[in-house]
Amino acid sequence: MSNAYTPARLRLWSMPRYYHGATWEGHYVAPVGRSRDSDSLELSNWQVQLEELGGEDGEAVTVVRENHFLCGWVEWVAIASDAAKQLQVADRLAERLEVYPCLNEERWSALQLELGELELEEGEDD
């Protein structure tokens, strides 16, 4: 019996053109990344993704941070190709994101409030 799992919605990492950094052959890219310019939805999805993957453990799941000339930095999650459990979770997350852009509305709403992105309407007492 094999513990192998081939994700339907994730892609294997491939070397970008003009890339100079660590290589991640044999790793899949999780569906949610973030950057310096991420909005609250992307940040919320990032947090949910890491929680559902069980956090960063360095063997199966690695958060990769890279410098980027346009947005300062980007982070993405590399998942080892032999980490069947985490690949299944990430594949389900990608499937959910195909249907609806938010992984957890309560988390997103709380983060919007925390970041001051929601404008609260206050009634005027005259």
For the chain, 126 residues long, give each residue's pLDDT as a single digit of tens.
446 899 999 999 999 888 888 999 999 999 999 999 999 999 999 999 999 999 998 899 999 999 877 778 999 999 999 999 999 999 999 999 999 999 999 999 999 999 886 655 554 554
Residue of 72, 36, 74, 30 lying closest to 55 (CA atoms): 30
In a domain, 91, yes or no: yes
In a domain, 83, yes or no: yes
How many domains is the chain partitioned into structurally?
Answer: 1
In a domain, 123, yes or no: no
φ, ψ at 37 (rounded to 5°): -100, 15
In a domain, 80, yes or no: yes
In a domain, 120, yes or no: no
3-class DSSP state of 54: coil
- Could you count the other beta carbons within 10 Å of the beta carbon of residue 58? 8
In a domain, 2, yes or no: no
User: What is the residue range of 97's domain?
Assistant: 11-114
In a domain, 35, yes or no: yes
- Could you count the other beta carbons within 10 Å of the beta carbon of residue 75? 15
| Residue pair 42/32 in contact by the 8 Å Cβ criterion | yes
Please, what's the b/e burial string for 20-43 (b: 16 or more CB within 10 A of its CB; e: otherwise)? eeeebeebbbbbbbbeeebebbbb
In a domain, 90, yes or no: yes
**What predicted TM-score, i.e. pTM, was given to this entire model?**
0.86
3-class DSSP state of 126: coil
